[in-house]
Amino acid sequence: MWNVTRAQAGNYSCQGYNGAANASRVSPARPLLVQYAPGDAKLSALDSDQSYAIKGQTLTLECRCNDHGNPAAHTFIWTHNGRRVESVSVAENHLLRVGPADVHTRGDYACAAINTVGQGRWANLWLDVKTPPRLVHGLEPTLGSLANRSLTMSCRVECHPTCAVQWFRNNDSLPPITDPLTDYYYHVESVEHQLDERNGAFGSLTSYLHVHNSSALNDHDVITCACDGNGVGPGVRSSLVYRHE
């Protein structure tokens, strides 16, 4: 037999025949056992259809294989960004616990089943890590200034997906005017900070409120920077009280 496949497994017997009227007795059946590697793996988050983790929380990944091969798979192997991370026995339900999630948790996860014949096909899952809004730095409680001076206030917010920062004066929204040559008394500037794996930092956004002339503000004005929730956590805000000096 050439190119044997699992379909050829079964009990085989033979019978001699030389052209005479009576053939020989059929031989006792002998089993043909075909060994083969496991089938394709499937990788997903356990009890969830999400493909992301949340910063600081844990997530369990499950590697499933409907065809464990023959003999049955004895191990599941896992990689993270191409590097081996753990071997998990089938008896442990082929689960991989990920977390508490940080910037290094994100990336490509892969798993495959192994038996004594070989390895099944890999399954892959790209796992993102989302972060709820967090104030990296907010406003000082008070800000004082002499008249006719320029002022700058800033807030930095970490969040993924990215959050938009909005400014308020006494709870009235300030339109996000970005032109520094505007006739308005202020303009807003935003600076994005990219994810930095080396320093373990998620992406963030710094928003600056540039006031061209402090005389446009009133004593005891309340200035607030705020961002809404991003689907994985509630919004955050920070306020200060402006004082004329």
Please check whether residue 188 lies inside any domain of the structure: yes
pLDDT in tens, 96-122: 988 899 999 999 999 999 999 999 999
Please check whether residue 46 lies inside any domain of the structure: yes
26-33 long-range CB contacts below 8 Å, 24 or more apart?
A: 32/8, 33/9, 33/70
Percent of the chain scored above 90 by pLDDT?
58
Global pTM value: 0.78
- CATH number, residue 97: 2.60.40.10
Instruction: Specify the number of domains making up the chain.
Output: 2
Residues 182 and 150 in one domain: yes
Please check whether residue 232 lies inside any domain of the structure: yes
With b for 16 or more beta-carbon neighbours within 10 A and e for fewer, the 149-173 pattern comes to: eebebbbbbbbbeebebbbbbeeee
Which positions ≥6 away from 104 have C-beta within 8 Å?
Answer: 197, 200
Residues 50 and 126 in one domain: yes
Residues 100 and 164 in one domain: no
* pLDDT > 70? residue 6: no
Which positions ≥6 away from 10 have C-beta within 8 Å?
Answer: 31, 32
Residues 107 and 164 in one domain: no
Task: Report residue 70 as tokens.
Answer: 């023959």
pLDDT in tens, 166-209: 999 999 999 888 888 878 899 999 999 998 888 889 999 999 99
Residues 49 and 125 in one domain: yes
Identify the domain boundary among 84, 100, 131: 131
* pLDDT > 80? residue 79: yes
Residues 235 and 144 in one domain: yes
Please check whether residue 218 lies inside any domain of the structure: yes
- Per the structure, the complete domain to which residue 147 belongs is given by 138-244
Residues 77 and 146 in one domain: no
Identify the domain boundary among 108, 131, 154: 131
Identify the domain boundary among 99, 114, 131: 131
